[in-house]
Chain A
Amino acid sequence: AQSVSQHNHHVILSEAASLELGCNYSYGGTVNLFWYVQYPGQHLQLLLKYFSGDPLVKGIKGFEAEFIKSKFSFNLRKPSVQWSDTAEYFCAVNGAGRRALTFGSGTRLQVQP
C-alpha cells in the first residue's frame, strides 16, 4: 500500500526566509508526485507535479520540488517566502494502477511579516 509522510506538521518562518518541506513516500513502483496548497478557507490548488523526466520541477509562485528516487523523497522548496504563502501544504502520490491520490497529513506554514 502507498503511504506519504510529511514530518513537519507546523512550520513558522519570517518573511524572506527559505523554506523546505519534507515529503517521503513508500511505494515500490513508478509514482506520480504532487504538491497541493490549501489557503485558509479555500480549496486545494496544484503547486507542482512530477511524472517523469527532470527530477527538479518548478511550480507556481516560485516553488520547486526535487524528486530523489533513492530516498523516496519529494521535498518542496522556496528560496524566499512571503506572508501570502501562509497555508496548508499537502504532498500526494499515486502509483501506476492506483487512480486516487494518497495524501500526507499536511504541513501548516505560517509566515510572519
Chain B
Amino acid sequence: DTAVSQTPKYLVTQMGNDKSIKCEQNLGHDTMYWYKQDSKKFLKIMFSYNNKELIINETVPNRFSPKSPDKAHLNLHINSLELGDSAVYFCASSQVSGGSITDTQYFGPGTRLTVL
C-alpha cells in the first residue's frame, strides 16, 4: 500500500545511454513532481504536472523529458546521459487547491542514478 512508488530504486548506466524512471502514486492526488537531489543533498524541483498538464519546467536540459500518461503516473526519460546526471531523483505528489499547495507533498523512495 505504498503511497508514492518509484522504479527502479537503483540505476547504473554508461554515459550516452537513454534511461527512464517511473513513478506512481495511489493517493488520488492531482499534482506530481520530480525533484533532483545532488551529491551535496541539495534538493531542487525539476518538473511538475497537474492533471497530466505540465505546470513547472525549471531550467532543466531538454535531454530530460517528463511524461504523465494519467494523473497517477509521472515518468522521467533521460536521453544521452552525462556524468553530471548522477543524483537521486525523487518523485512527489500533492493535492493542489486554488493557486497554492494546502496539502502536503508526499515523496517516493528515490531512484539513485549513477552514470559511469
Which residues of A pack against B, CB within 8 Å? 30, 32, 34, 36, 38, 42-46, 49, 51, 88, 90, 94-103, 105-106, 108
A-B contact count (CB 8 A): 64
What A residues does B109 contact at CB under 8 A? Answer: 42-43
Do B41 and A97 touch (CB < 8 A)? no
Interface magnitude class on chain B: 20 to 34
> What mask results when residues 64 to 102 of chain B are scored 1 for a CB within 8 Å of chain A, else 0?
000000000000000000000000001010101001111
Q: Which B residues fall within an 8 A CB radius of A?
A: 31, 33, 35, 40-45, 48, 50, 55-56, 58, 90, 92, 94, 96, 99-102, 104-110
Q: A100, B90: Cβ atoms under 8 Å? A: no
Could you jot down 28 A-B contacts, CB within 8 Å?
Answer: A30-B100, A32-B100, A36-B107, A42-B109, A43-B108, A44-B90, A45-B107, A46-B105, A51-B102, A90-B43, A94-B100, A95-B100, A96-B100, A97-B99, A98-B100, A99-B48, A99-B56, A99-B96, A99-B100, A99-B101, A100-B45, A100-B58, A103-B42, A103-B43, A103-B44, A105-B40, A106-B42, A106-B43
| B101 x A32 contact (CB < 8 A) | yes
A interface, over-half SS: strand
Q: How far is the CA of A50 from the CA of B90 in the complex (A)?
A: 23
CA distance A95 to B42 in the complex (A): 19
